[in-house]
Amino acid sequence: PACTSCRLAPPEFARAVAYAEYDAEVRGMLHLLKFNGARPVASHLLGEYLATAILKLEAQAARELVVIPVPLFAARERSRGFNQSKLLAEAALKCLRKLRCDWKLRIDTKSFARVKDTHALFTMQPHERRKSLRGAFRVTDAEAIRGREVLLIDDIKIGRASCREECRS
**What's the pTM value of the predicted model, to 2 decimals?**
0.82
107-133 pLDDT, tens digit each: 999 999 999 998 777 777 777 887 888
Cα of first residue to Cα of last residue in the chain, in angstroms, is 8
Q: What is the pLDDT of residue 7?
A: 75
Q: How far apart are CA 120 and CA 117, in angstroms?
A: 10
Phi, psi of 92 (to 5 degrees): -65, -45
Q: Is 162's pLDDT higher than 50? A: no
Q: What is the pLDDT of residue 157?
A: 55
Whether 67 and 107 have beta carbons less than 8 Å apart is answered as yes
Q: What is the mean pLDDT of the chain?
A: 84
Q: How far apart are CA 115 and CA 105, in angstroms?
A: 25
Percent of the chain with pLDDT over 90: 49
Q: Is 95's pLDDT higher than 90? A: yes
- Selection from 109, 134, 133, 108 nearest residue 119 by Cα: 133
User: What residues contact 4, with CB distance under 8 A and at least 6 apart?
Assistant: none
Tell me the pLDDT band of 152, cut-offs 50, 70 and 90.
Answer: very high
Q: Is 2's pLDDT higher than 70? A: no
30-72 pLDDT, tens digit each: 989 989 999 999 988 899 999 999 999 888 888 999 999 999 9
User: Between 52 and 21, where is the model more confident?
Assistant: 52
User: What residues contact 48, with CB distance under 8 A and at least 6 apart?
Assistant: 91, 92, 95
